[in-house]
Amino acid sequence: NNSSQLSSLPLQILLYVNGIYYIFYFLASLAMLIYKSQVFSYPDDFLAPDLAVLFLMAILEVPRLYLGFSGNLTEAEVPLGLSLGLTVGSVVLCVYLLLWQTYVLRADVLLNAVLLAAYGLESGLKVTAIAAFVS
């Protein structure tokens, strides 16, 4: 990092790519849920939690990314910390979709694994960024 600029460029790039990837992930997961509900035996009380988790994750993603962007650019550690907290929640939901969904297809595994890796990398970069801002 340049000594005058504390914002983390890799974090910025990663957040940007995460945003684009998340849109694709959300649409693909929703399409696959619809496909699963038609092809497999999917009673309503198993379909409802899966749908709820997917939509909750989408709702969490928006403030998470926004706080990440603004925190990194303004070099403020509070938004970045909040974003980190929301990331933890997103990770939990992602793990649910990876392991505890009613039907986990191979495509589900791939999508969620990539997202989980992105979250993990982001969290690491956010921690170093916060450390840089604080110090």
Query: Alpha carbon of 54 to those of 22, 74, 77: distances in Å?
Result: 11, 30, 28
Q: What are phi and psi of 44, to 5 degrees?
A: -60, -35
User: Side chain identity at 6, as an amino acid letter?
Assistant: L
Closer CB to another protein, 66 or 103, in the complex: 103
Residues that bind another protein (CB under 8 A): 32, 35, 40-41, 46, 99-110
Closer CB to another protein, 47 or 56, in the complex: 47
- Retrieve residue 42's tokens: 């999917």
CA 71, 73, 76, 77 dihedral sign is positive
Closer CB to another protein, 78 or 107, in the complex: 107
